[in-house]
Chain A
Amino acid sequence: MSEQLIVPTMAEMMAEGKQPEILFWVGSAGSYDDRAKKITKAFVKILNKANVNFAVLGTEESNTGDVAKRAGNEFLFQMQAVMNIEVLNAYEVKRIVTCDPHSFNCIKNEYPSLGGSYDVIHHTQYIKELMSSGRLTLEGNTYKGKRITFHDPCYLGRGNGVYDAPRDVLKKTNATLVEMKRHKGTALCCGAGGAQMFKDAEPGNKEINVLRTEDALETQPEIIATGCPYCNTMMTDGVKFKEKEADIKVMDIAELIADA
């Protein structure tokens, strides 16, 4: 990714008297986690390529509070939510896109009753939208015939019923989409949700991400596609645990499309 990314902030936009068509909510993982930052950049590359008039909050963005809520800390969640809503409302944000299904679910479903109602979509939905409106076209055939299996993020799939958008986008790459036995409604969690990402697992006989990676390996994929930064980390670790990292890549759909 040598080309310069264009990432306007809401503050800059406001200073110029402009309003973006969509706000890109980067999220904490997308901002700070080394692996997730690559996903963020890939998505910005797509936005730039499609000439989307977007903006980020930059240093004015704070954690959604989602993970605090799942951990049981409703106070912290609502403090974070109210702070973020104040910023979002001040900028009169209408539409939000994010690469993180947890932020997506939280802002979409849990912010409205606290005063923040926005049209929130997941980046796979937005990529699909850009493709169908003709703003984004895939140039090459990087993934033609490659076996790709998609791991449903819980808060995108079961949590909000979004199963088709990521698959529709993947199909556009001319890859061979193979489904795991457990997929869509019965997809197994990667093990990171509910604040598990930030703690050790309780005693058991296996790590959840290893079990899920085994599901994926059964499909003999060349690429495991994800749509969540946390799933990505878990599946990457799982593939390493299985010593398959030389053969199998774990990639976010944004990364796949940015390179296609």
Chain B
Amino acid sequence: MEYLPNIIFAILLIAGIGYFSSNVKKLIRNIKLGHKVDASDHKSERWKNVVNIALGQSKLVKRPVSGFLHAIVYVGFIIINIEVLEIIIDGLFGTHRIGQQVLPTSLYGFLIGSFEILAVLVLVSVTVFWIRRNVIKIKRFLSPEMKGWPKSDGNIILYFEVVLMCLFLVMNATDTIFQTAGSGNVISQFIAPWFEGFSEGTLHLIEKAAWWIHFVGILIFLNYLYFSKHLHILLAFPNVYYGKVEPKGKFNNLEAVTAEVKLMMDPDADPYAAPAETAEDEVPAKFGASDVMDLSQVQLLNAYTCTECGRCTSECPANLTGKKLSPRKIMMDTRDRLEEVGKNIDANNGEFKDDGKQLLGDYITNEELWACTTCNACVEACPVSIDPLSIIIEMRRYLVMEQSAAPMELNNMMTNIENNGAPWPYNQMDRLNWKDEK
């Protein structure tokens, strides 16, 4: 029975990582429902973006207050996680603070001391975040799409962080050996006196309990990610890598359309010829997107990466003037629908059964799509290179090319272009009249 704790630890660790991995697999499968994107270009620029935008958080700090607080939590999260390494070794091998034994006292003290300071800074930042979300009425946290689960999700993440940081500090404060060594207990030495009257045994019990809850808490938090907007802590990096590297104004040209246009413009084309037989594309290409499967893998990755900060929406001219469009909602809807499709596939032995629903109409309305000015403010604002505009355009393409469902004025405008090469009903032959007009 001597090894019971080690065994329990190992089982918990395997279960925690196992469940997380199964969800990651699901996530990858869902993303792969989208069509492939060739991102083999601009390699050096993509890596540069990962370093600057993802690692360096260059876009986050454009809003100094939230950017600074985020940087603390981010650095704290990454550095304090070195401590997890020690926890895992201790847990598996039954050692106690292996780092203290193998590392020079000064180095170990320096590390733990830094973690303790960061833990306090994280606590302060997280508290400010909570106040920003719940007390101060910051507009971007009050949008209609932030009601219910998204609001709770945001708060749950903050509570998690508070609990984990407190447990870490309590664990250190009640560790008598660590406190007596007196190296690295920069913060916990002030917490230790709270436990002064406790017996050695009770102290040990509290220390062990804090250690175990801390460990289990980390596993729960890890597994919470898949169900939360907090996935960005992992996905921000690949998402920035796959983010747009070309000028923001450039929209992709649909290849399926190019093929048809070429045929139409080709004077040698036989209008009565039977369509060329191609084994692979039996299904005629659908123009634009009405559901998540019509989007690209990068767009679906975008949806999972979105952490609902709302910087896009707070810069969107349509949203600022009271229109229904919110770029953040476009991303949240895309993820919600993708999750729904994923669950459908799980429930039907790996095959999607038509559920009579789709992204267009059931999640995103035409009104939202037509309110977009394609100004790229949302794309520019996103700290992790998400492109809501590309989804809006794909859905407009479906509305126009598959459903002819453009607003009437736009149909008139397009008819004009078709007939006289201008969006207004003017004669093509009058194009140069301005030259002689007074």
A residues near B (Cβ < 8 Å) are 5, 7, 9, 26, 28, 30-33, 37, 40-41, 44, 56, 58-59, 61-63, 65, 67-76, 78-80, 82-83, 105, 108-110, 113-114, 154-155, 158-161, 185-186, 188-189, 191-196, 198-208, 211-212
Contacts and interface: CB of A to CB of B under 8 A. Distances in A.
Given A40-B434, A186-B377, A205-B321, A110 B251 contact: yes
B422 A198 contact: no
Contact of B317 (A61, A109, A161, A208): A208
Closest 6 CB pairs of A and B: A159-B249, A72-B396, A205-B322, A194-B374, A204-B322, A189-B375
Contacts of B260: 75
A5 B288 CA distance: 45
A195 B411 CA distance: 11
B1 interface: no
A159 B132 CA distance: 32
Given A31-B434, A198-B410, A201-B323, A63 B376 contact: no
Contacts of A211: 317, 320-321
Interface in B399-438: 399-401, 406-407, 409-410, 412-414, 417-418, 421-424, 426, 428-435, 437
B323 A202 contact: yes
Contacts of B406: 71-73
A63 B421 contact: yes
B237 interface: no
Contacts of B429: 59
Contacts of A80: 417, 421
B321 A208 contact: yes
B288 to A, nearest CB: 7
Contact of B422 (A28, A73, A185, A212): A28
Contact of B376 (A61, A67, A154, A195): A154
Interface residues of B, number: 69
A35 B160 CA distance: 59
B423 A63 contact: yes
B377 to A, nearest CB: 7
Given A28-B423, A109-B246, A202 B370 contact: yes
10 contacts: A71-B410, A72-B393, A72-B400, A74-B253, A160-B247, A196-B373, A198-B412, A202-B318, A205-B322, A207-B321
A28 B373 CA distance: 19
A188 B414 CA distance: 26
Which of B249, B395, B407, B418 counts the most A-chain CB atoms under 10 A from its CB?
B249
Contacts of A154: 249, 373-377
A212 B429 CA distance: 36
B373 A74 contact: no
A94 B326 CA distance: 41
A71 B323 contact: no
A62 B410 CA distance: 18
B238 to A, nearest CB: 24
B264 interface: yes
Nearest to B429: A59
B249 A82 contact: no
Given A68-B417, A195-B410, A198-B413, A189 B377 contact: yes
Given A191-B373, A199-B409, A74 B254 contact: yes
Contacts of A7: 432, 435
A79 B410 contact: no
Nearest to A41: B434
Contacts of B288: 72, 74
Contacts of A40: 434
A205 B379 CA distance: 24
Interface string B126-157: 00000000000000000000000000000000
A65 B410 contact: no
Nearest to B434: A37
A53 B44 CA distance: 40
Contacts of A113: 253
B250 interface: yes
B173 interface: no
A105 B247 contact: yes
B400 A208 contact: no
Contacts of B398: 72
A58 B431 contact: yes
A3 to B, nearest CB: 12
B380 interface: yes
Contact of A204 (B265, B323, B409, B435): B323
Given A67-B417, A204-B322, A31 B432 contact: yes
Interface in B246-294: 246-251, 253-254, 257-258, 260-262, 264-265, 287-288
Contact of B373 (A9, A73, A208): A208
Contacts of A72: 288, 393, 395-401, 406
Contact of A186 (B250, B315, B324, B374): B315
Interface in B334-365: none
A175 to B, nearest CB: 26
B422 A37 contact: no
A40 B321 CA distance: 32
A194 B320 contact: no
Contact of A32 (B374, B377, B430): B430
B431 A31 contact: yes
Given A105-B250, A109-B249, A193 B422 contact: no
